[in-house]
């Protein structure tokens, strides 16, 4: 039975937040040459591997600190095997248009004024502007005394940036970690041995994920629904699209389900507008908050059908990559059967490229079919 993996962070929301920020100029600055002393410090850090301890200062996105970005970088490093990670509370804000050397010097002064409890400290910034998008990432690692250990800039002229499929905060964060990990002595082997730690627990809290005991029964319930095939009865509630009720979308979904013989679908007479936020930076939390609210609604308003479905859409008519399709299927007792989402990082979403209600409906059908056929 298939299970679904849910990401901790949605890059699309990052992008929307980025374009609300003021422009932060990128700096065409070469990476500084390493001194003999710095090379020795780097080799020492590398030799520690997963046992090294690291404080991540608030990561900067277009000139402003963004805690979700910082947490995501921490999670990626933990997944690479790093065991001890702390999140710095004080943001370091360098002067604009500063060179990498000047950046490291300024950061050293900051670390001396704001001592860390770990052996090393990481500062990273992702820069760009609303006209050209994100174009540059600058990363600096110091030891706890403020001595430079590793620094690198990757810009639009560098191959690593050119190869990014999408210029988004999430992809730049992944690039950051891929470049930094070997210098921390983190390898494929350390990643295989990595265990969820402080960062994973933090992301679980952010994600709104229910306890594992509530998620474990879903595959069996999906199998039971699959066995019923076209005999399963399901009521389809009006879709929440952009925060408003759309009964027409539910009617169209009902037709699609019946035509595909997925189930015997009927349109709900009630039109509940669930209040779970569509705006949280973490899409997984949006999904599970909706799932909890719909579960409660079904328990208080048991349907006469075997199953009930509620869908939640965000889409941009001009840009198919900006949006999501969420849906929740509960049984008549209000127990979750399917809790699913799709966004621009999923093959199904990429194949449909939804820019309208009809596109979102088609994508939902495709996703539901993956569970039931």
The β-bridge partners of 148 are 142
**Which of 18-22, 26-30, 85-89 has maximum average pLDDT?**
85-89
| Three-state secondary-structure class, residue 240 | strand
Q: What is the mean pLDDT of the chain?
A: 90
Closest by Cα among 350, 352, 347, 372 to 362: 352
Q: What percent of the chain has pLDDT over 70?
A: 91
| pLDDT for residue 30 | 59
Would you state the CATH architecture of domain 212-372? Alpha-Beta Complex (3.90)
CA-to-CA dists, residue 299 to 275, 330, 365, angstroms? 17, 9, 25
Q: How large is the average pLDDT for residues 182-210? A: 91
Q: Of 122-126, 133-137, 216-220, 357-361, give the lowest mean pLDDT range.
A: 133-137
pLDDT band for position 23 (cuts 50, 70, 90): very low
CA angle 342/346/352 to nearest 5° reads 80
**131-140 pLDDT, tens digit each:** 788 999 999 9
Return residue ranges of the chain for CATH 3.40.50.10150. Answer: 11-207
Our measurement of the distance from residue 103's CA atom to the centroid of its chain's CA atoms, rounded to an integer in Å, reads 29
CB 153 within 8 A of CB 26: no
**According to CATH, where is 3.90.950 located in the chain?**
212-372
Q: For 11-207, CATH number?
A: 3.40.50.10150
Q: pTM for the complete prediction?
A: 0.64
pLDDT in tens, 240-298: 998 899 999 999 999 999 999 999 999 999 999 999 988 887 888 999 999 999 999 99
Looking at residue 18, its pLDDT comes to 43
Pairing status of strand 264-267 against strand 233-236: parallel
Half-sphere exposure of 171 (CA within 13 A, CB side): 17
CA–CA separation, 348 and 303 (whole Å): 30
Q: Which two tokens stand for residue 148?
A: 């430079």
């Amino acid at each position: 039975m298939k299970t679904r993996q849910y990401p901790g962070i949605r890059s699309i929301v990052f992008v929307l937040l980025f374009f609300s920020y003021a422009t932060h100029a990128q700096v065409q600055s070469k990476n500084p040459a390493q001194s003999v002393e710095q090379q020795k410090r780097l080799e020492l850090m590398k030799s520690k591997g997963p046992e090294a301890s690291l404080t991540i200062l608030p990561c900067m996105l277009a000139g402003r600190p963004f805690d979700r970005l910082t947490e995501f970088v921490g999670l990626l490093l933990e997944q690479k095997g790093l065991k001890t990670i702390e999140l710095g509370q004080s943001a370091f804000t360098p002067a604009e248009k500063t060179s990498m050397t000047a950046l490291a010097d300024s950061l050293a002064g900051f670390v001396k004024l704001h001592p860390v409890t770990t052996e090393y400290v990481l500062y990273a910034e992702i820069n760009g502007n609303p006209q050209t998008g994100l174009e540059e990432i600058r990363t600096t690692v110091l030891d706890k005394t403020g001595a430079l250990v590793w620094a690198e800039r990757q810009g639009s002229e560098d191959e690593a940036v050119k190869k990014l499929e999408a210029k988004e905060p999430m992809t730049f964060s992944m690039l950051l970690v891929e470049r930094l990990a070997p210098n921390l002595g983190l390898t494929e082997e350390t990643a295989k041995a990595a265990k969820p730690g402080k960062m994973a627990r933090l992301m679980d809290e952010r994600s709104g994920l229910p306890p594992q005991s509530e998620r474990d029964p879903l595959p069996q319930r999906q199998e039971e629904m699959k066995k019923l095939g076209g005999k399963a009865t399901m009521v389809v509630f009006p879709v929440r699209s952009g925060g408003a009720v759309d009964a027409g979308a539910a009617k169209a979904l009902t037709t699609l389900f019946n035509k595909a013989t997925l189930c015997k679908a009927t349109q709900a007479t009630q039109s509940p507008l669930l209040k779970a936020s569509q705006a949280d930076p973490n899409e997984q939390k949006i999904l599970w908050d909706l799932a909890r609210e719909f579960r409660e609604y079904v328990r208080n308003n048991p349907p006469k059908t075997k199953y009930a479905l509620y869908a939640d859409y965000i889409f941009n008519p001009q840009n198919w990559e900006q949006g999501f399709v969420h849906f929740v299927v509960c049984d008549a007792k209000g127990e979750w059967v399917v809790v699913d989402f799709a966004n621009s990082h999923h093959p199904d979403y990429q194949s449909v490229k939804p820019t309208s209600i009809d596109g979102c409906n088609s994508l939902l059908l495709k996703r539901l079919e993956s569970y039931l056929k």
